[in-house]
């Protein structure tokens, strides 16, 4: 696709420029939305394999009301589509490259009035559910997807900015610094699995 071609050109030039200035620079393939194996395959077809060190993507659920291990959401709109990304990487000789999940989360808000045709606007009912889904997504990475070495949760704090509260619902703490249940849930999970890394 044209989008993949343009991105591949940018990645190649960025890699060459970065390595010219710093031969040890680590170059990250900039995170596609969701587990978009089709876009990643198209970029490989345009020759990106030598021009990045880490694959990054944003494994959001296309319907956040569904837990991360759900398989009843189509293609790139589900976390469990990640093996297709890993398969594309392996096909092009990149099975040893690490993968970073550079943005994911579960927004807390009501789904009243959101049509079924817009599942990406869905949220989970409470912070406890968001915390549980985050823990389960970390567990998916640990137990099934060993290429995933870094996970970045979105977001530490967001100001109210939209009528549905979708963006605001991702926050892990309040404006006064008090933490919501998601943050200690992530801490407790990582304490039990010290080999994993998380950022928010």
| pLDDT at residue 116, as a whole number | 87
Q: Are 198 and 181 in contact (CB under 8 A)?
A: no
Half-sphere exposure of 72 (CA within 13 A, CB side): 5
| pLDDT at 45 (0 to 100) | 98
Per-residue model confidence as pLDDT tens digits over 13-36: 999 999 999 999 999 999 798 999
Handedness of CA 60, 193, 173, 101 (dihedral sign): negative
Q: Minimal CA–CA distance to 50: which of 102, 2, 99, 97?
A: 97
- State what percent of residues in the chain have pLDDT above 90: 88
* SS3 per residue for 39-89: HHHHHHHCCCHHHCCEEEEECCCCCCCCCCCCCCCCHHHCHHHHHHHHHHH
Residue partners of 148: CB distance under 8 A and separation at least 6: 82, 98, 99, 100, 101, 141
Q: pLDDT for 91-112, tens place per residue?
A: 999 999 999 999 999 999 999 9
Tell me which H or E stretch contains 6.
helix 2-21
How much is the average pLDDT of 72-80? 95
- The pLDDT, as a whole number, for residue 195 is 72
Q: Taking 80 as the threshold, does the pLDDT of residue 135 lie above it? A: yes
């Amino acid at each position: 696709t044209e989008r993949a071609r343009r991105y591949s050109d940018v990645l190649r030039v960025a890699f060459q420029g970065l390595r010219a200035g710093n031969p040890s620079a680590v170059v990250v393939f900039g995170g596609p939305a969701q587990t978009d194996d089709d876009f990643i395959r198209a970029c490989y077809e345009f020759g990106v394999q030598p021009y990045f060190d880490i694959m990054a993507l944003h494994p959001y659920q296309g319907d956040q009301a569904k837990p991360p291990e759900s398989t009843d959401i189509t293609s790139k709109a589900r976390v469990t589509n990640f093996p297709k990304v890993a398969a594309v990487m392996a096909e092009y000789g990149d099975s040893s490259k690490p993968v970073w999940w550079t943005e994911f989360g579960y927004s807390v808000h009501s789904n009243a009035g959101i049509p079924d045709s817009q599942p990406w606007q869905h949220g989970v009912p409470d912070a406890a559910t968001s915390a549980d889904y985050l823990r389960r997504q970390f567990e998916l990475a640990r137990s099934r997807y060993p290429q995933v070495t870094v996970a970045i949760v979105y977001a530490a704090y967001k100001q109210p900015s939209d009528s549905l509260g979708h963006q605001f619902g991702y926050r892990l703490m309040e404006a006064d610094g008090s933490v919501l249940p998601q943050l200690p849930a992530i801490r407790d999970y990582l304490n039990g699995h010290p080999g994993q890394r998380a950022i928010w």
